[in-house]
């Protein structure tokens, strides 16, 4: 395997979200910052110990989210390890929460998932994979790089874990963009853009003199 085959970009998250991503349950991740990054992204679980209350809250949400989209039979992780590399996803887009909420063609459950992840930037992901044995390590802030040697060692052991139907985010974004320029009314040609044109000013005409 070539040394460039394994991806090396990593994002650290608190549990239980790190494992929900790695196990294919979470498709949207909220961040307070945006990025131009697209592509394979390692998921690392931070050092903060997760409370049972947080696990119950997020598991309940994702159980309802997937049930709303017709996928009630989803499997949750058996445990939520900390300070460990847990899996890999593919980032297909990063959009604002406001833009995501305007994609009205999204499935109902997925729209609810988006609302649950804040008002900042939303990372949209697919191709979820998990490591059968999480790899213990410390994390870093925002996006960081995994050692190439380590990436090459663990990359072949990833297990696909997508649950429910895969969402074509690009399709829904295209539908939303098309709706913004759709022509009003049922017919005609044109490019669908409505322009406000100023009315021409009429010259002032003096009143006619009275008839004698």
Q: What tens digit of pLDDT does each residue of 36-47 get?
A: 999 999 999 999
CA distance 174 to 45: 33
Query: Can you give the pTM of this predicted structure?
Result: 0.81
Predicted confidence at residue 166, as pLDDT, reads 80
Predicted confidence at residue 191, as pLDDT, reads 38
pLDDT above 70 covers a percentage of the chain that reads: 83
CA distance 146 to 127: 19
Mean pLDDT score of the chain:
86
Banded pLDDT at 162 (limits 50, 70, 90): confident
195 pLDDT above the threshold of 50: no
β-bridge mates for residue 43, sequence order = 11, 87
Predicted confidence at residue 183, as pLDDT, reads 53
Predicted confidence at residue 6, as pLDDT, reads 95
Predicted confidence at residue 139, as pLDDT, reads 92
Using one digit for the tens of pLDDT, what is the confidence trace for 112-130? 999 999 989 999 999 999 9
- What average pLDDT score do residues 154-179 get? 89
């Amino acid at each position: 395997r070539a040394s460039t085959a394994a991806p090396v970009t990593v994002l650290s998250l608190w549990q239980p979200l790190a494992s929900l991503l790695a196990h294919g349950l979470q498709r949207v991740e909220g961040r307070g910052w945006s990025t131009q990054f697209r592509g394979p992204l390692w998921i690392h679980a931070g050092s903060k110990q997760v409370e049972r209350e947080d696990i119950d809250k997020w598991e309940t949400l994702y159980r309802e989210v997937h049930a709303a989209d017709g996928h009630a039979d989803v499997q949750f992780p058996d445990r939520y390890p900390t300070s460990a590399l847990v899996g890999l996803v593919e980032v297909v887009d990063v959009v604002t929460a406001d833009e995501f909420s305007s994609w009205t063609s999204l499935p109902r459950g997925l729209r609810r998932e988006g609302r649950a992840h804040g008002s900042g930037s939303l990372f949209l992901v697919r191709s979820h994979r998990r490591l059968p044995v999480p790899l213990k390590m410390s994390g870093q802030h925002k996006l960081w790089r995994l050692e190439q040697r380590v990436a090459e060692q663990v990359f072949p052991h990833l297990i696909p874990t997508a649950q429910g139907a895969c969402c074509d985010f690009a399709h829904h974004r295209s539908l939303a963009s098309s709706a913004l320029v759709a022509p009003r009314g049922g017919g005609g040609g044109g490019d669908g853009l409505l322009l406000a044109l100023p009315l021409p000013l009429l010259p002032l005409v003096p009143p006619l003199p009275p008839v004698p």
